[in-house]
């Protein structure tokens, strides 16, 4: 697809951004628009799927026909058939008059079915007949009617998964998925986030008669690092809040953090994982082991000291107390706010208490006492300083070396006064 053509479409429909994923989606929409092929648009809620349906309609031969957008998830299951296909008078309670459905009204036009996965199975069967032979029957009627409608569908869930669960017809899925278009979420569009922020800031400045918002470099870095689960819709709401509430229009990193939930950063500090299986980096695991080892050796020293004071005899309550201390230590979280880690427990079986080697325990503890600098905060601060020095104080590259986000690094620099 010619880049100039994509640029022209962006200007015509007010599409902001230069992300390769966005350009690819636009290219597919432009190519498929002149045809009558069914299109399935996938993407997260708030990512702009409806804009693509309008582009496809306006660039098609049906642009002079009707265009109707239907949110399938917002219509009650009992009335969805009537809304889409119409009904005859008296066909159900409350049907005082005959009514035309969307497929009859939009004949020769385009119908956009958003949240297509929410359709009941019975309605899916009716829709499949429309797509295959262009026919439908009104509720309460036996007369077959013809319609010439192009269907553009959209979903923010996996239809393949819905098919496997028996919630969506497999034949309808393949019929809808003739041409798939994936609209990327905002977090995958890189610098487009800043461009959209400026566009919204300009719009709200004009709307509320105020000076437009301006971002400092720190604020830009924090903005680009945010996850944006609500995508473009969420970004727009944040910009509007700032435009109204902030008297100082130069937005710093500190101000930006007030409007972004801290739990939705892309890379939480010292923690990596996904929804199926969490993982912890080797560096974090080493810190955890050292920290727990020092604590457990201290407890072992106390146990040995009690044994010596008791003349070498081991009382049951000593082992029980030792076990209790280790259990309490094991269930403490490494960081309650940002880390999820497995607990490490050094257990002492009751039948092996006679095998303790007092001198060996004291030797181990002596080795650890030679270096007491096992503070997590101290080690973390040292690593941050080293990374900054290595990268000439460039936070972007320092954060990359540390395996954390720029936003988190910024917060840690403030916390440790680096």
- Residue 301 vs residues 308, 322, 349: alpha-carbon distances, Å: 11, 10, 17
Give the SS3 label for residue 87: strand
Measured distance CA(18)–CA(23) in Å, rounded = 7
CA neighbor of 234 nearest in space, from 223, 245, 244: 223
pLDDT at 287: 57
In the 8-state DSSP scheme, what is residue 1? -
Which CATH class, in words, describes the domain spanning 376-416?
mainly alpha
Q: Where are the domains of the chain?
A: 3-184, 190-263, 279-369, 376-416
Pairing of strands 67-71, 214-215: unpaired
pLDDT at 393: 83
The CATH homologous superfamily for domain 3-184 is P-loop containing nucleotide triphosphate hydrolases (3.40.50.300)
Give the angle subtended at the CA of 411 by the CAs of 264 and 294, to the nearest 5°: 95
pLDDT tens per residue, the chain (418 residues)? 678 889 999 999 999 999 999 999 999 999 999 999 999 999 999 999 999 999 999 999 999 999 999 999 999 888 899 999 998 888 887 778 888 999 999 999 999 999 999 999 999 999 999 999 999 999 988 899 999 999 999 999 999 999 999 999 999 999 999 999 999 999 999 999 999 999 999 999 999 999 999 999 999 999 999 999 999 999 999 999 999 999 999 999 999 999 998 645 554 433 333 443 344 455 555 656 666 676 767 766 776 676 666 665 555 555 555 555 555 554 444 344 444 433 333 344 444 444 444 444 444 444 444 444 556 777 788 888 888 888 888 888 888 888 788 778 877 888 887 7
What is the fold of 190-263?
A: Helicase, Ruva Protein; domain 3 (1.10.8)
Instruction: Write the DSSP assignment of 92-111 as a string of letters.
Output: STT--S-B--HHHHTTTSEE
């Amino acid at each position: 697809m010619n880049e100039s053509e994509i640029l022209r479409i962006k200007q015509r429909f007010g599409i902001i951004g230069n992300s390769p994923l966005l350009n690819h989606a636009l290219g597919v929409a432009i190519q498929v628009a002149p045809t009558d092929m069914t299109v399935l648009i996938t993407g997260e809620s708030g990512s702009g799927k409806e804009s693509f349906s309008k582009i496809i309609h306006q660039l098609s031969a049906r642009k002079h026909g009707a265009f109707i957008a239907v949110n399938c998830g917002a219509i009650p299951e009992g009335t969805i058939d009537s809304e889409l296909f119409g009904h005859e008078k008296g066909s159900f309670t409350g049907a005082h008059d005959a009514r035309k459905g969307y497929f009859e009204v939009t004949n020769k036009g385009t119908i956009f079915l958003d949240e297509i996965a929410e359709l009941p199975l019975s309605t899916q069967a009716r829709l499949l007949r429309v797509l295959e032979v262009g026919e439908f029957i009104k509720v309460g009627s036996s007369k077959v009617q013809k319609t010439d409608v192009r269907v553009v569908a959209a979903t923010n869930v996996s239809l393949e998964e819905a098919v496997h669960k028996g919630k969506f017809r497999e034949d309808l899925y393949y019929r809808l998925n003739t041409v798939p278009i994936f609209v990327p979420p905002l977090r995958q569009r890189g610098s487009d986030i800043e461009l959209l922020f400026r566009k919204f800031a300009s719009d709200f400045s004009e709307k509320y008669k105020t000076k437009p918002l301006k971002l400092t470099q720190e604020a830009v870095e924090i903005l680009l690092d945010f996850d944006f689960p609500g995508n473009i819709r969420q970004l727009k709401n944040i910009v509007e809040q700032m435009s109204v509430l902030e008297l100082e229009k130069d937005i710093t990193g500190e101000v930006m953090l007030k409007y972004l939930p801290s739990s939705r950063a892309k890379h939480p500090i010292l923690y990596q994982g996904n929804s199926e299986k969490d993982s912890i980096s080797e560096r974090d695991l080493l810190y955890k082991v050292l920290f727990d080892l020092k604590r457990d050796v201290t407890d072992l020293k106390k146990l040995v000291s009690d044994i010596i004071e008791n003349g070498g005899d081991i009382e049951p309550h000593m082992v029980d107390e030792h076990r209790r201390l280790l259990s309490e230590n094991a269930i403490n979280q490494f960081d309650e706010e940002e880390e999820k880690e497995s607990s490490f427990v050094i257990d002492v079986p009751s039948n092996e208490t006679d095998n303790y080697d007092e001198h060996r325990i004291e030797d181990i503890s002596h080795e650890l006492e030679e270096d007491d600098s096992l503070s997590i905060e101290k080690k973390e601060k040292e690593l941050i300083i080293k990374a900054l020095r290595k990268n000439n104080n460039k936070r972007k590259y320092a954060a990359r070396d540390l395996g954390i986000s720029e936003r988190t690094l910024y917060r840690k620099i403030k916390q440790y006064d680096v």
